[in-house]
Structures are given as structure tokens and as C-alpha cells.
């Protein structure tokens, strides 16, 4: 049996690096006390999220960000806990930074970094993530207690190809960080109006917004179709469009925090658990491009598709 205890953490992410670092340190200690092997934080958890928590990176205090990161690495070593930490990663010259997840092991060593591959916004980079960040170009994998892990960030969830690529690499647990918080109430109301309040009854979502409606079902589908466990933290800064939650490899949500409130959700990943997986026999074939189950028949009535 291979088991990992995951702490999915949410707090009100802000533009204040010191404020964010205090929340992260507090939740790291809480996660360690509760027996977690790894603590997972939202997108931009330490740096704040450009374009939402602050206007942009002009005048950004990169030295403070680096020193705060180093302090949290020391704390991870002290507590003996892994950390998957959302932040920004400075590039050379005037290039836009990456929107990243730092992977810090229980010895306090930075072992990998995932950079958000699909940054939101139009192709000309005039808005959204692309106005502030440079997209990444790689997947990131590592192992905790023998379980192979991977990382994704927010808008990446709209591209199921990334989950398939991780599955090809044998990933069993995905740390998928989000930041859908600090949304003005009037903006939430405007999105709800655009969707149509009459549809609330058939869309069971924390907020009737496009991300609120689509994100959780997408994570359920990603887990069930790829048979991977998924940790989904979010900023809890009001308004937050949904609370952090955790999905088992069969698509079942096993825990959820309260929206707009800080919290730490502890979930157990047991890769030896007997979970429902209806696609197990055919998934690898489908990934390889064989898009049917069983054996295809060679029959004239099968080939003729315009007669009864």
C-alpha cells in the first residue's frame, strides 16, 4: 500500500508578500501537526496574482519574494513536510515572469518548478495572464512516498491534453492550484446575470459563474477518466468563486472547505485502494490512438452506413 497525506490549503491571497508568507507558515505548521506529508497552496499564493491582487510587476519586490521563499523552504525542512507553493518566478531582463508552482521537498530543497503552460488571454497578450506572465513549456513530475506526482495551474484545466500527458508519465496525484478569488461582488453578479439566474437550479455550483460552474465538474472528469487523484486549492479572498476541494481517482470528491474562509483540508491518497475504474482495460489503448474497445469487425453491413 502506498499512501500520501495531502493538505490542500486556502487563505485570502493578497498583494502583500509578508501577509501571504505568514498565512502559508501558519498553515504549514497546521498541516504538519495533522500528519500531512505535503502541503499544497493556491496559484500565486506567496507572490499574489498579477492582474487580480495587484496591477502588474512594475516595481515588484523580487528580493523580498526570494527571501520569503527561502524562509518557507527552511520551515519545510524544520517540519519535515513537502510544499507545493504557488508564486511568480522572475526571468532575465524585461521578460515577463512565469506563473509557477515551486516543489520543495521535506529537506527544504527546491526539487522542481512547474510553470503555467496555458496562460489566459488573447493571442496579442493585451489582457489576462498573458499581459503579465510568460507561459511555460514543460511538465513537472516527482515522487512522494513512491507516488508519482505532477502539477498544473488554474486555466490549464481547460486543456485535458495535459492530464493525458501526465497519465502517460505514470502520474497518480496531480497538484492543481487555482486562484479564483478577490473577485468584486459586482463582477460576480454580472457573470451570474450573463449565465442566467434561471439556470441556477440545474447548475449546482458555489457561484453561478463560468469558472464556478465548469471547474469542479472538469476536475471530476479529469480524475475519473485518467484515474488520478487531484488536490484543488483556491484563494479564499472574497469573493472566492469556489472553495478548495479534493477528488479521488474515481471522480468522487472526498472533502471540501468553506468558501471565503481560510482552511486546511487533509486527504489521504491510497493508490492501493480498490476504486471503481471502468476505463482501466482500454485507457492505455485510447491514449495510444486506438479509439475503440474490443476487436473491430470486417463486415459489409458494418461498412455500409447509409442502409438499414
> E-strand spans in 107-262?
110-115, 141-144, 147-153, 173-177, 229-232, 245-247, 253-256
Domain that holds residue 52: 3-280
CATH number, domain containing residue 230: 3.60.110.10
pLDDT score, position 204: 87
List pLDDT tens digits, range 74-85. Answer: 999 999 999 999
Alpha-carbon dihedral angle through residues 62, 65, 69, 70, given to the nearest 10 degrees? 60
Whether residue 239 is preceded by a cis peptide bond, meaning omega within 30 degrees of 0, is yes
**Distant-in-sequence, close-in-space partners of 109: CB < 8 Å, separation ≥ 6:** 73
List pLDDT tens digits, range 218-259. Answer: 999 999 999 999 999 999 999 999 999 999 999 999 999 999
How far apart, in whole angstroms, are the C-alpha atoms of residue 235 and residue 250?
A: 25
Query: What stretches in the chain show pLDDT beneath 50?
Result: none
Position 303 in a domain = no
pLDDT score, position 174: 98
Predicted TM-score (pTM) of this structure? 0.97
Q: What is the DSSP letter of 1?
A: -
List pLDDT tens digits, range 8-20. Answer: 999 999 999 999 9
Position 290 in a domain = no
Position 269 in a domain = yes
Position 301 in a domain = no
Provide the sign of the torsion angle of the four alpha carbons 251, 255, 261, 262, taken in this order.
negative
Position 305 in a domain = no
DSSP of 145-164: TTEEEEEEEGGGGG-THHHH
pLDDT score, position 147: 98
How far apart, in whole angstroms, are the C-alpha atoms of residue 124 and residue 273?
A: 46
pLDDT score, position 1: 61
pLDDT score, position 254: 98
Position 300 in a domain = no
Provide the domain count of the chain: 1
Position 61 in a domain = yes
User: 183 near 242, Cβ under 8 Å?
Assistant: no
Cα–Cα distances in Å, from 83 out to 14, 38, 115, 166, 199?
A: 19, 5, 16, 20, 39
Position 306 in a domain = no
Amino acid at each position: 500500500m502506498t499512501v500520501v497525506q495531502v493538505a490542500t490549503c486556502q487563505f485570502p491571497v493578497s498583494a502583500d508578500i509578508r501577509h501571504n508568507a505568514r498565512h502559508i507558515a501558519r498553515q504549514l505548521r497546521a498541516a504538519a501537526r495533522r500528519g500531512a506529508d505535503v502541503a499544497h497552496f493556491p496559484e500565486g499564493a506567496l507572490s499574489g496574482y498579477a492582474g487580480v491582487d495587484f496591477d502588474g510587476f512594475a516595481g515588484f519586490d523580487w528580493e523580498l519574494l526570494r527571501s520569503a521563499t527561502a524562509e518557507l523552504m527552511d520551515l519545510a525542512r524544520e517540519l519535515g513536510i513537502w510544499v507545493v507553493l504557488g508564486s511568480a518566478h522572475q526571468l532575465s531582463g524585461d521578460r515577463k515572469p512565469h506563473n509557477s508552482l515551486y516543489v520543495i521537498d521535506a529537506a527544504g530543497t527546491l526539487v522542481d518548478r512547474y510553470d503555467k503552460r496555458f496562460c489566459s488571454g488573447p493571442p496579442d497578450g493585451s489582457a489576462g495572464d498573458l499581459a503579465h506572465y510568460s507561459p511555460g513549456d514543460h511538465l513537472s513530475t516527482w515522487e512522494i512516498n513512491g507516488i508519482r506526482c505532477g502539477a498544473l495551474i488554474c486555466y490549464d484545466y481547460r486543456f485535458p491534453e495535459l492530464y493525458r500527458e501526465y497519465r502517460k508519465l505514470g502520474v497518480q496525484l496531480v497538484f492543481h492550484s487555482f486562484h479564483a478569488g478577490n473577485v468584486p461582488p459586482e463582477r460576480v453578479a454580472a457573470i451570474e446575470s450573463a449565465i442566467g439566474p434561471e439556470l441556477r437550479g440545474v447548475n449546482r455550483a458555489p457561484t453561478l459563474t463560468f469558472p464556478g460552474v465548469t471547474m469542479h465538474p472538469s476536475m471530476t472528469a479529469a480524475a475519473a477518466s485518467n484515474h488520478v487523484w487531484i488536490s484543488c486549492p483556491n484563494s479564499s479572498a472574497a469573493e472566492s468563486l469556489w472553495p478548495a476541494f479534493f477528488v479521488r481517482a474515481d471522480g468522487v470528491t472526498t472533502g471540501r472547505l468553506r468558501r471565503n474562509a481560510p482552511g486546511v483540508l487533509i486527504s489521504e491518497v491510497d493508490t492501493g485502494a480498490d476504486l471503481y475504474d471502468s476505463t482501466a482495460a482500454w485507457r492505455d489503448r485510447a491514449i495510444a490512438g486506438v479509439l475503440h474497445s474490443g476487436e473491430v469487425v470486417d463486415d459489409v453491413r458494418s461498412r455500409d452506413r447509409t442502409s438499414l
